[in-house]
């Protein structure tokens, strides 16, 4: 493998290592708990706009619309709802299992996936409808922490490459003697009988 | 009696400050592989040499543009049900930023219908060339053909027009009539300016889209260049710059002998026809090959783009209803909030991000012991980092726009005006986001690619500026911290 290939491998490894370290540091093992959350929808926001829970928690969720008909599509959990203005009940379905709606007053969700999942309005509700969304953050947020670790790892890896390049340049310019292992190898080659 | 004694200050030997010689405007030496696509793609050269080339590529776009305008004016005001909003701000935007710019440079400018009418009036021809003389150009041009004022011959106006337009982005990308108004004004202005000023003055100095295309086209994996600059230097006609009986003079005033960046080449291919020496190549090249920012206007375009990507990530993709209300002032009438939002946006884009960058540059100069190198040179040199960082952040931002809301495209093609038509039987196609929970992964990968290029270039720029690998290494630390900070901010928006 040439030096460019080696450098690439080292950078990828350090980046990956950073990613694993980030995910590991953020790991927690809190006991699962239950949360009772009432989400209010209005043009063009959900309240609360951010919900932070731990993996394995049970969420009991009620949906209420304060103005017009809204939707509630929770990505990653195969869940879609239709919320009518000022009504306690709402319609719910699992999009992967069909188009049929069921009318409920509350639904329960166990947060078995880690990361950030958006809940978006799925029913056209006005001009800013495509951007009406909230965030369910399930801790440990592995993708985020791993990507932060990976970013720092990439930085460290690149600095390592620059340091290697610097050494090579100094050596090429004669401003630095050959590294010990390299001189030894050069000496070996000279000494080797042909 | 007191005596005034004036101490004669000891005269120190004058420090001789040697001015660094101004770098000659020689084309930057080419780095990395180049592959002439005219040699590799059969018929491509023949096609771009057709006199009708530009007309042929603009024509379909012009047709679509008219349909979009009709839909924008007469169609439903609900953005996601109107083909104008869905096609422009979901489909066109994604193709432009994620495909055209990184892989085809400014190809959009070659097919853009906005300057069509201006060009037509200026040339009074759609296809043929008019020989003649017009103020140093060997083509007959109509209109007044005045020179654009020199003090505005930069992209500052584009920076301001773009920032202004983006301040109202919550309206622009959601309301068809606002998009009609903005694009219509651009067509009108391009046409009027073509009658007063020479060539494509609007595209060169005012078009808000052109500004960021010029910046990010530096990364593109294709370039139009002369095969041999010596041939250009010896060329007596300079047909590319001045036109000939076979081709119009470059509408962007580019002389191929000195063209060494993609920034101001719109790939209109007129030079392919006017070059008497067959000396032009369309090269495939490595990503991010042009690495020189040549003015504060270009550097600030980088800051503005970065700040806008952050702002949009918060306003459009973020959860905060309050900020959406501020940005959506026409509906909410939250004028106080809109003022705060505008002030923050403009401050971040024009002062705060550049200020942080300036601080990192000061640190870089100190660490690299390069205080003798002019600040401007170091600032502009490193400001190239904003290009890969910004472009990849914009692509990452645009990924959910297409994958989450792309299904609207399927429904609006059947009912483009939102009038209840069902042309292809897909009008009732439901909103179907594609793998929304997995989109963070390509977003993370894109941000890391941007960071990789920024870090790699920070070292190369350091070597070029300081002439020493030691100084380049030290200099890359503050610039690396800046780049990492920007990347972490976007990671927080998208995944945190």
Q: pLDDT tens-digit profile of A69-115?
A: 999 999 999 999 999 999 999 999 999 898 899 999 999 999 999 99
Residue of B nearest to A171 (CA): B469
Q: Quick one: pLDDT at residue B11?
A: 42
- H/E segment holding residue A146: helix A142-172
In chain A, residues with a C-beta closer than 8 Å to the C-beta of B33 are none
Which contacts qualify for A12-17: CB closer than 8 Å, 24 or more apart?
Answer: A12/A157, A13/A157, A14/A153, A14/A154, A14/A156, A14/A157, A14/A160, A15/A150, A15/A153, A15/A154, A15/A157, A15/B448, A16/A150, A16/A153, A17/A153
Q: Which member of B315, B451, B480 has the closest CB to residue A159?
A: B480
Determine the average pLDDT of the residues in B79-107.
97
Determine the average pLDDT of the residues in A116-126.
96
Residue of A nearest to B443 (CA): A147
Model confidence pLDDT, tens digit, residues B317-333 = 999 999 999 999 999 99
Rounded to two decimals, the pTM is 0.91
Q: Quick one: pLDDT at residue A25?
A: 85
Determine the average pLDDT of the residues in B166-188.
96
Determine the average pLDDT of the residues in B221-239.
95
DSSP 8-state symbol, A15 = H
Widest pairwise Cα distance in chain A: 93
Q: Quick one: pLDDT at residue A126?
A: 93
- H/E segment holding residue A115: strand A115-120
ipTM for the predicted complex: 0.88
Token representation of residue B2: 């007191």
The pLDDT mean for chain B works out to 93
- Asked if B452's CB is within 8 angstroms of A158's CB, the reply is yes
Residue of A nearest to B317 (CA): A131
**How many angstroms away from the CA of A135 is the closest CA of chain B?**
6
Residue from B262, B462, B457, B478 nearest B377 by CA: B462
Q: Quick one: pLDDT at residue B6?
A: 40
**How many angstroms away from the CA of B492 is the closest CA of chain A?**
7
Residue of B nearest to A159 (CA): B473
In chain B, residues with a C-beta closer than 8 Å to the C-beta of A76 are 436-437
**Percent share of chain B, pLDDT over 90:** 93
Q: Quick check: B114 pLDDT over 80?
A: yes
Q: Which of A2-6, B94-98, B419-423, B443-447 bottoms out in mean pLDDT, i.e. has the lowest?
A: A2-6
**CA–CA distance, B77 with B73 (Å, rounded to integer):** 9
Determine the average pLDDT of the residues in B189-202.
96
**How many angstroms away from the CA of B322 is the closest CA of chain A?**
8
Write the CATH number of the domain with boundaries A31-139: 2.60.40.420
Is the separation of the CB atoms in B81 and A124 below 8 Å?
Answer: yes
**CA–CA distance, A161 with A152 (Å, rounded to integer):** 14
Q: Quick check: B15 pLDDT over 60?
A: no
In chain B, residues with a C-beta closer than 8 Å to the C-beta of A128 are 170, 174, 324, 328, 331
Secondary structure, 3-state, chain B? CCCCCCCCCCCCCCCCCCCCCCCCCCCCCCCCCCEEHHHHCCCHHHHHCCCCHHHHHHHHHHHHHHHHHHHHHHCCCCHHHCHHHHHHHHHHHHHHHHHHHHHHCCHHHHHCCCCHHHHHHHHCCCCCCCEEEECCEEECCCCCCECCCHHHCCCHHHHHHHHHHHHCHHHHCCCHHHHHHHHHHHHHHHHHHHHHECCCHHHHHHCHHHHHHHHHHHHCCEEEEECCHHHHHHCCCCHHHHCCCCCCCCCCCCCHHHCCCCCCCCCCCHHHHHCCCCCEEEEECCCCCCCCCCCHHHHHHHHHHHHHHHHHHHHCCCCCHHHHHHHCHHHHCCHHHHHHHHHHHHHHHHHHHHHHHHHHHHHHHHHCCCCCCCHHHHHHHHHHHHHHHHHHHHHHHHHHHHHHHCHHHHHHHHCCCCCCCCCCCCCCCCCCCCCHHHCHHHHHHHHHHHHHHHHHHHHHHHHHHHCCHHHHHHHHHHHHHHHHHHHHHHHHHHHC
The owner of tokens 């329960």 is: A108
Which contacts qualify for B67-73: CB closer than 8 Å, 24 or more apart?
Answer: B67/B416, B69/B180, B69/B183, B69/B184, B70/B417, B71/B176, B71/B416, B71/B417, B72/B176, B72/B177, B72/B179, B72/B180, B73/B176, B73/B177, B73/B180
Positive or negative: CA dihedral B463, B381, A154, B400: negative
Residue of A nearest to B89 (CA): A130
- Asked if A130's CB is within 8 angstroms of B328's CB, the reply is no
Q: Quick check: A27 pLDDT over 90?
A: no
Which one of A124, A128, A134, A169 would you mutate to disrupt binding with B, by most B Cβ within 10 Å of its Cβ?
A128
Band (pLDDT 50/70/90 cuts) for residue B25 is: low
In chain B, residues with a C-beta closer than 8 Å to the C-beta of A163 are 473
> Alpha-carbon Rg of chain A, whole angstroms?
28
Band (pLDDT 50/70/90 cuts) for residue B182 is: very high
**CA–CA distance, B418 with B77 (Å, rounded to integer):** 9
Q: Quick one: pLDDT at residue A167?
A: 82
Triad A59, A64, A68: Cα angle to 5°: 145
Q: Quick one: pLDDT at residue B16?
A: 45
**CA–CA distance, B324 with A188 (Å, rounded to integer):** 70
Q: Quick one: pLDDT at residue B12?
A: 44
Q: Which 129-188 residues of chain A touch chain B by CB within 8 A? A: 129-135, 141, 143-144, 147-148, 150-152, 154-155, 158-159, 162-163, 165-166, 169-170
In chain A, residues with a C-beta closer than 8 Å to the C-beta of B491 are 144, 147-148, 151
Query: Can you give the residue ranges of every domain in chain A?
Result: 3-26+144-189, 31-139
Q: Quick check: B292 pLDDT over 90?
A: yes
The owner of tokens 């960082």 is: B389
Model confidence pLDDT, tens digit, residues A171-190 = 777 766 554 444 444 433 34
Is the separation of the CB atoms in B394 and B309 below 8 Å?
Answer: yes
Q: Quick one: pLDDT at residue A7?
A: 82
Residue from B67, B114, B62 nearest B87 by CA: B67
Band (pLDDT 50/70/90 cuts) for residue B30 is: confident
- Asked if A45's CB is within 8 angstroms of B473's CB, the reply is no
Buried b (16+ CB within 10 A) or exposed e, B338-363: beebbeebbebbbeebbeebeebbeb
Q: Which 79-108 residues of chain A touch chain B by CB within 8 A? A: none
Model confidence pLDDT, tens digit, residues B469-480 = 999 999 999 999
Q: Which residues contact A133 (CB under 8 A, 6 or more apart)?
A: A46, A118, A119, A120, A121, B317, B319
- Asked if A133's CB is within 8 angstroms of B433's CB, the reply is no
- Asked if B477's CB is within 8 angstroms of A144's CB, the reply is no
Token representation of residue A7: 């450098």
Q: Quick one: pLDDT at residue B323?
A: 96
Q: Quick check: B53 pLDDT over 70?
A: yes
- Asked if A113's CB is within 8 angstroms of B437's CB, the reply is yes
The owner of tokens 């990924």 is: B399
- Asked if B452's CB is within 8 angstroms of A120's CB, the reply is no
CA–CA distances in Å: residue B401 to residues B6, B187, B406 = 75, 26, 7
Q: Quick check: B350 pLDDT over 60?
A: yes
Model confidence pLDDT, tens digit, residues B362-417 = 999 999 999 999 999 999 999 999 999 999 999 999 999 999 999 999 999 999 99
Q: Which member of B324, B456, B470 has the closest CB to residue A44?
A: B324
Is the separation of the CB atoms in A83 and A125 below 8 Å?
Answer: no
Residue from B369, B405, B381, B474 nearest B85 by CA: B405
- Cβ–Cβ contact B444 with A under 8 A: yes
How many residue pairs bridge chain A and chain B with CB atoms within 8 Å of each other? Answer: 135
- Cβ–Cβ contact A21 with B under 8 A: no
In chain A, residues with a C-beta closer than 8 Å to the C-beta of B437 are 75-76, 113, 115, 117
- Asked if A141's CB is within 8 angstroms of B452's CB, the reply is no
């Amino acid at each position: 493998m040439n030096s460019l290939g080696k450098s690439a491998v080292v950078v990828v490894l350090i980046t990956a290592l950073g990613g694993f370290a980030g995910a590991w540091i953020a790991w927690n093992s809190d006991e699962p708990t239950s949360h009772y959350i009432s989400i209010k929808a209005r043009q063009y926001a959900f309240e609360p706009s951010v919900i932070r829970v731990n993996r394995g928690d049970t969420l009991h969720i009620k949906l209420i619309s304060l103005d017009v008909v809204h939707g509630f599509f929770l990505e990653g959990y195969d869940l879609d709802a239709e919320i009518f203005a000022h009504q306690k009940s709402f319609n719910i379905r699992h999009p992967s299992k069909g188009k049929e709606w069921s009318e409920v007053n509350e639904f329960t969700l166990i947060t078995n996936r880690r990361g950030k999942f958006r809940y978006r309005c799925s029913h056209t509700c006005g001009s800013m409808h495509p951007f009406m969304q909230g965030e369910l953050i399930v801790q440990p947020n592995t993708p985020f922490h791993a990507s932060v670790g990976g970013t720092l790892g990439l930085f460290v890896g690149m600095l390592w490459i620059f340091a290697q390049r610097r050494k090579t340049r100094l050596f090429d310019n004669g401003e630095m003697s050959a590294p010990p292992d390299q001189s030894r190898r050069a000496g070996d080659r000279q000494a080797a009988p042909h | 009696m007191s005596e005034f004694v004036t101490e004669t200050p000891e005269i120190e030997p004058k420090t001789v400050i040697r001015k660094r010689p101004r770098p000659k405007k020689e084309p930057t030496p080419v780095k990395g592989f180049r592959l002439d696509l005219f040699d590799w793609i059969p018929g491509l050269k023949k096609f771009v040499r057709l006199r009708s080339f530009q007309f042929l590529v603009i024509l379909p776009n012009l047709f679509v543009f008219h349909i979009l305008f009709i839909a924008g004016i007469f169609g439903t005001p609900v953005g996601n049900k109107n083909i104008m909003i869905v096609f422009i701000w979901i489909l066109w935007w994604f193709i432009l930023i994620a495909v055209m710019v990184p892989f085809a440079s400014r190809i959009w400018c070659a097919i853009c219908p906005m300057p069509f009418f201006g060009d037509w009036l200026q040339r009074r021809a759609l296809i043929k060339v008019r020989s003649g003389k017009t103020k140093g150009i060997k083509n007959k041009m109509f209109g007044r053909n005045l020179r654009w004022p020199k003090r505005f011959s930069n992209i500052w106006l584009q920076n301001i027009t773009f920032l202004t337009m983006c301040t109202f982005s919550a309206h622009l990308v959601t309301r068809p009539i606002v998009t009609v108004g903005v694009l219509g004004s651009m067509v009108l202005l391009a046409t009027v300016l073509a009658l007063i000023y020479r060539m494509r003055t609007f595209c060169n100095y005012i078009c808000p889209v052109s500004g960021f295309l010029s910046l990010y086209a530096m990364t593109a994996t294709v370039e139009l260049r002369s095969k041999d600059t010596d041939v250009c230097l010896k060329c007596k006609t300079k047909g590319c710059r001045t036109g000939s009986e076979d081709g119009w003079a470059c509408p962007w005033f580019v002389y191929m002998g000195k063209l060494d960046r993609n920034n101001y080449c719109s790939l209109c291919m007129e030079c392919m026809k006017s070059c008497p020496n067959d000396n032009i190549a369309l090269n495939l090249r490595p990503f991010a090959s042009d690495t020189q920012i040549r003015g504060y206007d270009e550097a600030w375009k980088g800051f503005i783009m970065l700040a806008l990507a952050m702002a949009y990530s918060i306003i459009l993709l973020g959860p905060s209803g309050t900020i959406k209300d501020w940005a959506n002032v026409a509906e909410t009438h939250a004028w106080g909030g809109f003022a705060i939002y505008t002030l923050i946006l403009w401050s971040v884009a024009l002062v705060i991000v550049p200020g942080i960058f300036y601080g990192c540059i000061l640190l870089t100069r100190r660490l690299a012991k390069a205080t003798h190198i002019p600040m401007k040179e170091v600032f502009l040199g490193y400001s190239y980092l904003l290009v890969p960082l910004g472009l990849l952040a914009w692509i990452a931002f645009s990924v959910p726009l297409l994958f989450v809301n792309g299904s609207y495209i399927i429904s609006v093609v059947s009912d483009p005006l939102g009038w209840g038509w069902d042309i292809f039987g897909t009008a009732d196609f439901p909103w179907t986001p594609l793998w929304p929970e997995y989109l963070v992964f390509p977003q993370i990968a894109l941000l890391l690619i941007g960071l990789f290029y920024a870090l790699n270039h920070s070292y190369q720029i350091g070597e070029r500026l300081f002439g020493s690998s030691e100084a380049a290494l030290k200099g890359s630390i503050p610039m690396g911290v800046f780049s990492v900070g920007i990347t972490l901010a976007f990671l927080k928006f998208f995944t945190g």
